[in-house]
């Protein structure tokens, strides 16, 4: 096997998905398998050396030698063409629930589509978009429906199921510790479940039951 080093500009793994206490437990589980984390910095340069390995130079002045370098930096919508065409953008291409942009007869779907302020670059939202737009283009104007859609992070040593709370939701985390992980629930001031994180195989069994308790991100329109 390989000695793996993970370099992340954030101060914790999966910083956009996990609250700090779950991220810390996730990191500890992976470190127990031999993975090394270098956090709070980024890669400035990757240089190939004579023996075929690579020297990875970091912004903090540190350097590492690696035989394989993998870049997993996520997705960022390319919105330059949309801007040039006069289409409104923010983090992605802005649409309403019918996936319409501000320009007539132009729609957006996929990882670039920011629907009602929600940019969700995952498979399930894209499937929901495709179903709705297919009906619209066939003459049956249809709004997209976003139910609660958890995301699976397939790390065998520390399996995760994550349903992020909406960005604008003020939540408190309620955590139940388990022998092989934890269940963390994001509750708003009314006690409504707005999101959750399930760490470990035991916690993952609660996925379906908890998902049913979370309000739709975009309710179905009748």
- pLDDT-derived band at 1 (thresholds 50, 70, 90) equals confident
Say if residue 11 is in the same domain as residue 62. Answer: yes
Output the domain CATH number for residue 162: 3.30.390.120
Q: What is the mean pLDDT of residues 77-85?
A: 96
Instruction: Give per-residue pLDDT as tens, 31-54.
Output: 999 999 999 999 999 999 999 999
Percent of the chain with pLDDT over 70: 100
Say if residue 182 is in the same domain as residue 129. Answer: no
Domain count for the chain: 3
Q: What is the mean pLDDT of residues 56-74?
A: 94
User: 139: alpha, beta or left, given left = phi > 0 and alpha = psi -120 to 50?
Assistant: left
Question: Which candidate, 199, 201, 197, places its Cα nearest to that of 186?
Answer: 197
Say if residue 25 is in the same domain as residue 56. Answer: yes
How many angstroms separate the CA atoms of 117 and 146, rounded?
12
pLDDT of 57: 98
Torsion over CA: 168, 23, 148, 129 (sign): positive
Is residue 42 included in any domain, yes or no?
yes
How many angstroms separate the CA atoms of 22 and 25, rounded?
5
Residue 222 has pLDDT above 80, yes or no: no
Say if residue 93 is in the same domain as residue 124. Answer: yes
Is residue 23 included in any domain, yes or no?
yes
Mark which of 17, 32, 66 sits at the end of a domain. 66
Is residue 219 included in any domain, yes or no?
no
Is residue 220 included in any domain, yes or no?
no
Question: Which candidate, 5, 1, 2, places its Cα nearest to that of 64?
Answer: 5
Say if residue 53 is in the same domain as residue 104. Answer: no
DSSP 212: T
> CA separation (Å) from 112 to 26, 70, 75, 131, 220?
29, 24, 9, 17, 22
DSSP 184: E
Residue 74 has pLDDT above 90, yes or no: no
- pLDDT-derived band at 75 (thresholds 50, 70, 90) equals confident
How many angstroms separate the CA atoms of 128 and 134, rounded?
10
Rounded to 10 degrees, the C-alpha dihedral 129/133/135/140 comes to: 120
For the chain, the C-alpha Rg in angstroms (whole number) is: 21
How many angstroms separate the CA atoms of 1 and 46, rounded?
22
pLDDT of 145: 98
Output the domain CATH number for residue 62: 3.50.50.60
Q: What is the pTM of this model?
A: 0.88
Say if residue 13 is in the same domain as residue 62. Answer: yes
Question: Which candidate, 132, 3, 142, 139, places its Cα nearest to that of 66?
Answer: 3
Is residue 107 included in any domain, yes or no?
yes
How many angstroms separate the CA atoms of 58 and 118, rounded?
33
Domain enclosing residue 196, as ranges: 151-211
Is residue 75 included in any domain, yes or no?
no
Mark which of 39, 66, 93 sits at the end of a domain. 66
Is residue 184 included in any domain, yes or no?
yes
How many angstroms separate the CA atoms of 71 and 36, rounded?
16
Say if residue 112 is in the same domain as residue 161. Answer: no
SS3 59: coil
Say if residue 207 is in the same domain as residue 157. Answer: yes
Is residue 129 included in any domain, yes or no?
yes
Instruction: Give per-residue pLDDT as tens, 119-175.
Output: 999 999 999 999 999 999 999 999 999 999 999 999 999 999 999 998 889 999 999
């Amino acid at each position: 096997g390989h000695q793996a080093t993970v370099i992340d500009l954030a101060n914790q793994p999966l910083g956009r998905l996990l609250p700090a206490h779950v991220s810390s437990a996730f990191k500890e589980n992976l470190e127990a398998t031999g993975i090394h984390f270098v956090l709070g910095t980024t890669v400035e340069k990757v240089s190939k050396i004579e023996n075929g390995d690579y020297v990875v130079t970091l912004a903090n002045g540190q350097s590492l030698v690696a035989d394989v370098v993998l870049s997993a930096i996520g997705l960022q919508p390319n919105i330059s063409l949309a801007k040039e065409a006069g289409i409104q953008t923010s983090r992605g291409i802005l649409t309403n629930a019918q996936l319409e942009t501000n320009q007539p007869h132009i729609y957006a779907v996929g990882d670039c589509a920011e629907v009602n302020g929600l940019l969700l670059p995952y498979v399930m939202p894209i499937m929901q978009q495709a179903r709705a737009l297919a009906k619209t283009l066939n003459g049956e104007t249809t709004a997209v429906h976003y139910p609660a859609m958890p995301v699976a992070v397939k790390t065998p040593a520390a399996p995760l199921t994550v349903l992020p709370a909406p960005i604008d939701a003020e939540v408190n985390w309620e955590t139940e510790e388990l022998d092989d992980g934890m269940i963390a629930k994001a509750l708003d001031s009314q006690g409504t479940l707005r999101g959750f994180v399930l760490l470990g195989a035991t916690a993952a069994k609660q996925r379906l039951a908890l998902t049913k308790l979370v309000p739709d991100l975009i309710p179905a329109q009748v």
